[in-house]
Amino acid sequence: MHPQDNLSSSDEISIVIAIQSCPTGNCFPVSEEMGTVLYAGPFNPQFGSGADDPYEDFSVQVPASFATGQAQLGLAHFNLIGVRCSPIIFDVQI
């Protein structure tokens, strides 16, 4: 996960990485259902060697009890933007 560099200040708060089973091949949008949470915690992206944007790598493990078949990873990212600390929640299906 890497945020885009922008002119406004950004205070990174947290991210959630989850997996959702999709037995019929159709998954719910991440904004409606995250599924089984694999990580929920701080997000502290840094510039790395040769990287254009700050990033942080995450390794997660799918529980052995998770259903086999089609699945979808989802990510929700919460941060505060600008001088007013406007809350922003960004979610994406992977």
Contact call for residues 76 and 46 (beta carbons, < 8 A): no
Rg (CA), the chain: 15
Q: What is the pLDDT of residue 14?
A: 95
pLDDT (tens place) for every residue of the chain, 94 residues total: 445 555 568 889 999 999 999 999 899 998 899 999 999 999 999 988 888 888 999 999 999 999 999 999 999 999 998 888 888 888 888 7
- Where would I find the beta strands (DSSP E) of 1-94? 10-21, 36-41, 71-81, 86-93
Q: What is the pLDDT of residue 83?
A: 85
